[in-house]
Chains A and B, each alone.
Chain A
Amino acid sequence: MTILHIINKSPFEKNSLDTCLRLAKRGSAILLIEDGIYAAQKNTAVGNKLAAAAATHSLYALAPDLDARGIGKDKIIDGISLVDYDGFVQLTTETSGVQSWL
């Protein structure tokens, strides 16, 4: 079992996404929350990084955070699954530990 990585920072402001992608072991899960969800959008300067990561990691985004920021589900990169808070809890039980890239 691998761990769950959580990113809560915008990829346009902080390096949390890049560092996470560098240090998240292949096969591990990555969850985007809070301002981290901006990385989940298609057609941005970081979109290709996430699209590439979808091939090697399980990607998730917290739906209430997308809704709050006006990011429609149709704007999300293919391969990113949406979860609510119950799904977030569920994810942490299915992985072996949690690292938050603050």
Chain B
Amino acid sequence: MAVIKKFLYVNRKAPHGSIFALESLEVVLIGAAFDQDVALAFIDDGVYQLMRNQDTSGIGTKNFSATYKALGDYDISKIYVEKESLDLRGLSKDNLMPLTWEDEDDDWAEKDSIQVVSSTELAEIIDNQDVIFSF
């Protein structure tokens, strides 16, 4: 039995202004096939990646924001958003896209993937990881 490691993807950069958000998402999607214990953290400007109503038609770049909604289909159910980062930007969870996953062990009940966590909670989560990919 292979060891399952805890993988955390740390996203701290805003989308569209640079490629980091998109290329991070590409790693997450490939990584989902490896059956590891995966979580995503959105910190600082990274929280802007999850904003509702993104429309890139006027800037000619790929609108990959819809892809976040598919993460649940890849069994990615732990998406942490730091509360302090939202507060600093005048945002709340209502400004973010709703992301859900279906819990196999609970009759496929649809559950919320996004957990808004305090910096103290997130510090504990970060410290418990085996592998951290930061973007």
Contacts and interface: CB of A to CB of B under 8 A. Distances in A.
A15 B44 contact: yes
Given A99-B10, A99-B126, A23 B132 contact: no
Q: Among A19, A24, A98, find the residue whose CB has the most chain B CB atoms closer than 10 A.
A: A19
25 contacts: A3-B126, A3-B129, A3-B132, A15-B44, A19-B12, A19-B43, A22-B84, A22-B119, A22-B123, A23-B43, A23-B82, A23-B119, A23-B123, A24-B123, A25-B123, A25-B126, A98-B132, A99-B10, A99-B126, A100-B132, A100-B134, A101-B12, A102-B12, A102-B134, A102-B135
Contacts, number: 43
A3 B127 contact: yes
Interface in B114-135: 119, 122-124, 126-127, 129-132, 134-135
B127 A25 contact: yes
Interface of B: 10, 12, 43-44, 82, 84, 119, 122-124, 126-127, 129-132, 134-135
B2 to A, nearest CB: 19
Interface of chain A: mostly helix, strand, loop or mixed: loop
Interface of A: 2-3, 15, 19, 22-25, 28, 96-102
